[in-house]
A and B are shown apart, each in its own frame.
Chain A
Amino acid sequence: MRTILSLFAEYLGGTRFRLRMEPRMKQPGWLGLIVSLGAVTFALVLGGIVLMLVGGDPIRAYVFMAMAAFGNIGVFSDTLVKATPLILVSLAAVVAFRMRLWNIGAEGQFYLGAFGASLIVLTPILPPETSPWLMIPAMMVMGMLAGALWGFIPGYLKAKYNVNEIISTLMMNYIAVAWNNYFIFDVWSEGGFQMSRQFPKTAWLPRLTDYAAQVPMFRGLTIHLGFVIAMIAAGVVWWILYRSRWGYEIRLIGDNPRAARYAGINIVRNTILVMMLSGALAGLGGMLEISGVVHRLQGAISSGYGFTGIIIAWLAKLNPILVVPISILFGGLLLAGREIQPSGIPMLIQGIILVCLIGSDFLFRNRIRLVRVGQEA
């Protein structure tokens, strides 16, 4: 790589040059933003090249995707609906990653959250005529509890037995999907279909379109209360991380575990608690998705949201507030991506974005200079 570049430089200048990197002393904030934007642009160009290779027209595809996600108020509302679960799984990743706990099980915790919320409606723990004022909060609590349980298991194993949480959370994803499938196919199956019966209206999160009779403008807007809850969750996570004692402990452990231990911070307890908080956030995401969008328990409620959340968390530099706008952009990508063939394109673009992003971090930390050979001090 370096030799190719230096050859190129030689060709350009006629003299021998080579690239030198040196650490940047000052790392201005605006630079981080520019580097991230540059990385995303670069990723889109690379994605376009791949699109061309498989016989597509990248510019048309991107314009189509932008229109399909942000073209009018109707699709924008759909984009926000897609962004809602993304915000929550990204927050789940932010909380865990901030402590350098690699919870990549948000996907499974999301499924368990949906399952927990369904328990309330389908067991049924609460009868269908229960007031939504009780039903919805009960579903939220149960969804968060189920997600927290799914985070507790790997958290406990990590804290007590030093079991690698990356692999355990990932394995828990597969187990969660099979668990949900059992209930969808067997216990709660409606007439042999692979889904539960529809929830009663009292278990639905209110949507804008439900008020179309009063405000005609809202007709067809599927955005639901979950989006507001997700934004509140982002605020709460920000408050926990940056304004509470607990958040201070989390950040200290993440930045310097040794110093944290000397300061008397209980790492075992925090490992378990953070995994549970992370799981609860993802679980809430699952609850909002079934209560706000599909209104029943079914398979494939997540198209890899848990993994997209990791990318969003990284793109947001683990900032809970930045997670919201970036989730909206990715919501658009997922929404528009559904209509793009081949079906792997959104996954591919996400992968390229993440690769470029972590690669670009190097440019942020280091300065690359072209120097003439012999001039080097």
Chain B
Amino acid sequence: MDPIIILQAGVASGTVLLFATIGEIFTERSGILNLGLEGMMLIGAMSAYKTALATGNPWLGMFVAMLVAGLLSQVHALITIQFQADQVVSGLALTFLGTGLSMVFGEGLSKAGAVALLPSFSIPGLVSIPFVGPIMFENQSVMVYLGYLLVPLAWYYINHTRPGLHLRAIGEYPAAADALGINVNRLRYFYVLVGGMLAGVAGATISLAVSPGWFSHLTTSGQGWIAIGLVIFAQWDPIRAAGGSYAFGALRRMILDIQGPLKIFGLRNPFYYNPYWGFFLQMLPYAFTIVVLVIGSREAIRKRMGAPAALGLPYIRGERGL
């Protein structure tokens, strides 16, 4: 139970949540709720692994994951934007579709053996910063570093650029955005695609970097849903999303590590003596998601902030509504 190791591994496994959460923030900021994250992550993880296995090139796997998950997200876009169907049900459908497709095309992959993974390395210089260095910059996967870059970029894009302004406008007040000549639905297609591709990256990060391999539908173990919870906790803000993602990553790692030592804080470690108590530890990330949701929701009420005003509503020109 070395805190440095837990935090180091937490940053790595939190990176998966980070990509998925920031992708979903883009989608939801545009006014579309995509609950199909779990399905898109799964199909991303599967196609990345399968491609890397066939070609020996993990980067190609990452590319294919983005492509396939992005394609799947467009099914949701078509149904919710074009056909104006209920976004909740469509998102659930996408989860089934993604899970089913990845199970069918991933059949037999779990016994496939070793595959070329994305590279891991230390950042010279930064790694010697005390405490932070070994946690953030020592022997991490390249995806972790890309995650560090994504957070400020996403924040800057959403809050300080013109396209970011358009993104917020179509999610808050699409009719006004339309009146200014912004093509609301075309942009929504685009941001659903962005969210899908980032979910694909998240999936590929699982299967090609953080916990390599394909374990059928257990590969994501509900992380897609946790990410959707994190979006609410993060109040649709990429920086808060990063904090939440890494904290969850560390929690996941701690659960694994806590069962190891004989004693915790000088007391007999119950999780060591009865391994079945581990089931209660397994509940923690999910219970914690609910706690985080309660915190996020209460804060939203207090600060009078909250979801993008048009989240979940189709935009139909000329109809009353937002």
Contact = CB atoms under 8 A, between A and B. Distances in A.
Do A and B share a complex? yes
Interface of A: 1, 50, 54, 102, 104, 157, 161-164, 166-168, 170-172, 174-175, 178-179, 181-182, 185-186, 307, 310-311, 314, 341-352, 354-355, 357-359, 361-362
Interface string B52-91: 0000000000000000000000010011001111101110
B301 A162 contact: yes
Given A161-B298, A344-B99, A355 B93 contact: yes
Nearest to B225: A170
Contacts of A342: 103-104, 107-108
Contact of B283 (A164, A179, A307, A354): A179
Contacts of B105: 54
Given A358-B86, A359-B85, A361-B83, A50 B232 contact: no
Interface in B28-65: 35, 39
A186 B225 contact: no
B270 interface: no
Interface stretch (B5-13, B244-252, B287-295): B287-295
Contacts of B287: 171, 175
Nearest to A360: B83
A351 B97 contact: yes
Interface stretch (B123-131, B149-157, B274-282): B274-282
B94 interface: yes
Nearest to B229: A167
B312 to A, nearest CB: 11
Given A157-B294, A170-B222, A174-B283, A358 B93 contact: yes
A369 to B, nearest CB: 16
B297 A348 contact: no
Secondary structure dominating the interface of B = helix
Contact of B104 (A54, A172, A314, A354): A54
Given A102-B88, A185-B276, A343-B107, A362 B99 contact: no
Given A167-B228, A167-B232, A171-B289, A358 B89 contact: yes
A350 B93 CA distance: 8
Nearest to A154: B290
Given A162-B301, A167-B228, A354-B97, 10 more contacts: A161-B301, A162-B297, A170-B222, A174-B283, A182-B279, A342-B108, A351-B93, A351-B98, A358-B89, A362-B83
A179 B277 CA distance: 10
Nearest to A365: B84
A54 B101 CA distance: 11
A179 B93 contact: no
Given A50-B104, A351-B100, A175 B83 contact: no
B190 interface: no
Max chain B Cβ within 10 angstroms of own Cβ: one of A167, A181, A357: A167
A104 B92 contact: yes
Contact of B279 (A50, A172, A181, A341): A181
Contact of A348 (B88, B94, B104, B216): B104
B102 interface: yes
Contacts of A359: 78-79, 83, 85
B229 A171 contact: yes
A30 B289 CA distance: 44
A1 B82 contact: yes
Interface string B243-287: 000000000000000000000000000000010110110110011
